[in-house]
């Protein structure tokens, strides 16, 4: 390997690696060769390769995990938590194809937690919907939604067809609803969630618990969503909010 004079070797190596990535030799999520292999390939010291990797990591092009290797960084989908957050809009706004698959639906009695969130009586019947959200066929989130059964009888069929809760709500004459609040926690994924999200078991999931209300302020949905932290980051924008809050 011959190096141009006047430019640091590690910068030149960085450009070569970047070329490989943009050319698709290494795809998002792929593991790069080890530092020793790269050092051998470029005929330089391992530290020189590390300098190049450090610069590309800083640029968010790759990601290094101690003991595992260096990986091409997947772009994280920004999921904005606003009062009118809509999954399909977020995904299609990124020029990716949204899809939401209904895994199961059940009618059951509200547990204490669900009854409180939905503001219905304990033991009132609720509909439980379980779904997986995808963008371009890549799983992003695994959700469980609870809705009051009285108001939305049979919504699971409409949801399964339209693949959208927003659309299903419209079928029930509900043309608009807003997110009241969102609570965010992090946990290790259950086996089932890890499988559904096709996510590493040793990477956490971001969990949101949210409450949606209709125009009159009536609660229409309580949802628990598990996001693949490898592919999604949540985003809160305070610029468009009132300065009084």
Partner DNA sequence: GTTAATTTGTTCGTATGTATC
Partner DNA sequence: TGATACATACGAACAAATTAA
Looking at the DSSP bridge assignments, the partners of residue 134 are 99, 139
Residue 193 site contact among DNA, a copy of itself, none (CB < 5 to 8 Å, cut-off depends on kind):
none
Distances from the Cα of 155 to the Cαs of 17, 148, 149, 150, 208, in angstroms? 51, 10, 9, 11, 22
Q: Which residues contact 58 (CB under 8 A, 6 or more apart)?
A: none
| Among 4, 27, 95, 245, contact with a copy of itself (rule: CB under 8 A) | 245
Looking at the DSSP bridge assignments, the partners of residue 207 are 185, 226
Residue 181 site contact among DNA, a copy of itself, none (CB < 5 to 8 Å, cut-off depends on kind):
a copy of itself
82 binds DNA (CB under 7 A): no
Nearer to a copy of itself, 118 or 206 (CB): 206
Half-sphere exposure of 118 (CA within 13 A, CB side): 28
Residue 60 site contact among DNA, a copy of itself, none (CB < 5 to 8 Å, cut-off depends on kind):
a copy of itself
Q: Which residues contact 226 (CB under 8 A, 6 or more apart)?
A: 141, 142, 143, 189, 193, 197, 205, 206, 207
- Which parts of 122-181 interact with a copy of itself (CB under 8 A)? 178-181
243 binds a copy of itself (CB under 8 A): yes
235 binds a copy of itself (CB under 8 A): yes
Residue 99 site contact among DNA, a copy of itself, none (CB < 5 to 8 Å, cut-off depends on kind):
none
Residue 34 site contact among a copy of itself, DNA, none (CB < 5 to 8 Å, cut-off depends on kind):
DNA
10 binds DNA (CB under 7 A): yes
Give me 244's structure tokens.
Answer: 């009084």
Dist CA 193 CA 131 (whole Å):
11
| Among 102, 151, 182, 218, contact with a copy of itself (rule: CB under 8 A) | 182
Distances from the Cα of 143 to the Cαs of 68, 85, 98, 114, 207, in angstroms? 30, 15, 15, 15, 9
- Which parts of 106-125 interact with a copy of itself (CB under 8 A)? 111-113
What are the strands, taking DSSP E only, across 119-229? 125-135, 138-148, 177-187, 205-214, 219-228
Residues that bind a copy of itself (CB under 8 A): 58-60, 76, 78, 81-84, 111-113, 178-188, 202-206, 229, 233-245
Residues that bind DNA (CB under 7 A): 3, 8-11, 32, 34-36, 43-45, 47-48, 50-51, 53, 64-70, 188, 190-191, 202
């Amino acid at each position: 390997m011959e190096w141009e004079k006047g430019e640091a070797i590690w910068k030149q190596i960085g450009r070569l690696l970047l070329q490989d990535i943009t050319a698709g030799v290494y795809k998002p999520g792929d593991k790069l060769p080890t530092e020793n292999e790269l050092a051998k390939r470029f005929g330089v010291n391992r530290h020189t390769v590390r300098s190049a990797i450090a610069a590309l990591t800083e640029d968010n092009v790759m990601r290094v995990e101690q003991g595992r290797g260096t990986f091409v960084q997947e772009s994280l989908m920004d999921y904005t938590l606003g009062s009118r957050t809509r999954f399909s809009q977020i995904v299609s706004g990124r020029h990716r194809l949204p899809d939401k698959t209904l895994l199961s639906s059940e009618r059951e009695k509200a547990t204490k937690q669900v009854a409180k969130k939905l503001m219905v009586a304990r033991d009132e019947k609720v509909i439980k919907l379980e779904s997986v959200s995808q963008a371009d066929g890549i799983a992003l989130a695994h959700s469980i939604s609870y809705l009051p059964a009285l108001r939305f009888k049979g919504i699971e069929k409409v949801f399964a067809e339209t693949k959208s809760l927003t659309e299903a709500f419209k079928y029930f004459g509900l043309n608009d609803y807003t997110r009241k609040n969102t609570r965010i926690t992090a946990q290790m994924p259950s086996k089932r969630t890890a499988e559904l999200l096709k996510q590493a078991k040793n990477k956490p999931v971001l969990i949101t618990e949210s409450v949606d209300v209709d125009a009159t302020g009536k609660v229409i949905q309580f949802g628990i969503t598990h996001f693949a932290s490898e592919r999604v980051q949540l985003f809160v924008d305070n610029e468009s909010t009132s300065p009084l809050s």
